[in-house]
Amino acid sequence: MKTALVTGGSRGIGRSICIKLAAMGYYVLVNYKSNLQEAEATLSLIKENGGDGELLQFDVAQRDDIKQVLGGWITGHADDIIEVLINNAGIKDDSLMAWMKDEQWDNVIKTSLEGFFFVTRLVLDGMMMNRYGRIINVVSLSGLKGLPGQANYSAAKAGVIGATKSLAQEVGRSGITVNAVAPGFIKTDMTEDLDEKELKRMIPVNRFGSADEVAYAVGFLASKDAAYITGQVLSVNGGLYS
């Protein structure tokens, strides 16, 4: 069984990625943190489109949780190698750095940066034995250029970009590619408090992007044909950053 794992697959960009990978023929493990109803909705959409998958609840910010749930799944499915891993789960908790609380720093770093590390390390073993794998990390424009009020988020995403480039060099010989996708402003719950009318003036294509547009880029990097692309960051931002 060709399997893909999408962290944060219950909503937004992650949901679109789950649907895309299912359409590409993958059995999709839909990870979520706490929103069971939305995760079930993602799974229903996968099935309505003729695909299949299952829910896998764990908190990517809790390494023991990852070990227990994801590690348990891997041990119990020795023949079902996870071929595609999408590290998508993420949160933001913005504040100017002078006023940023310890928890704001810790939570964002734990979710995006540490989550990437602990999930990926677990999944790598199977990919290396299988000598095939696609790892795609959802980062952000904020991790490339930095944004005021997002020192925690920019640091986490920039950290993942660095790790993407390192890991790509470590596992290229094993048939595994490691890339990042850096969205700009995408319409999801994460951006619902932003004023699109005001912000779109800065964006060359003059609108926020959709989750499906990010999923399209992820699907491309996850395809077999993208075998010679690794260690790259693909921006999906309507031309906002160049």
Count of chain residues binding ligand NAP (CB under 6 A):
30
Confirm or reject binding of residue 6 to ligand NAP (CB under 6 A). no
In whole angstroms, how close is the CB of 129 to ligand NAP at the nearest point? Answer: 26
In order of 68, 117, 219, 241, the CA distances from 76 in angstroms are 12, 22, 27, 43
Q: Which residue has the tokens 């993208």?
A: 226
Q: Indicate the residue among 136 and 167 with the shorter CB distance to ligand NAP.
A: 136
Cα dist. 133→28, 48, 158, 224 in Å? 15, 27, 23, 9
Figure out which of the listed residues 19, 85, 86, 91 binds ligand NAP, where binding follows CB under 6 A. 91
Residue 131 C-beta: closest distance to ligand NAP, Å: 28
Least separation in angstroms between CB 155 and ligand NAP: 13
Residue 108 binds to ligand NAP (criterion: CB under 6 A): no
Stretch that binds ligand NAP, among 74-82, 88-96, 128-136, 218-226 (CB under 6 A): 88-96
Task: List Cα–Cα distances, 165 to 142, 170, 171, in angstroms.
Answer: 17, 9, 11
Residue 13 interacts with ligand NAP (CB under 6 A)?
yes
Cβ atoms of residues 137 and 113 within 8 Å: no
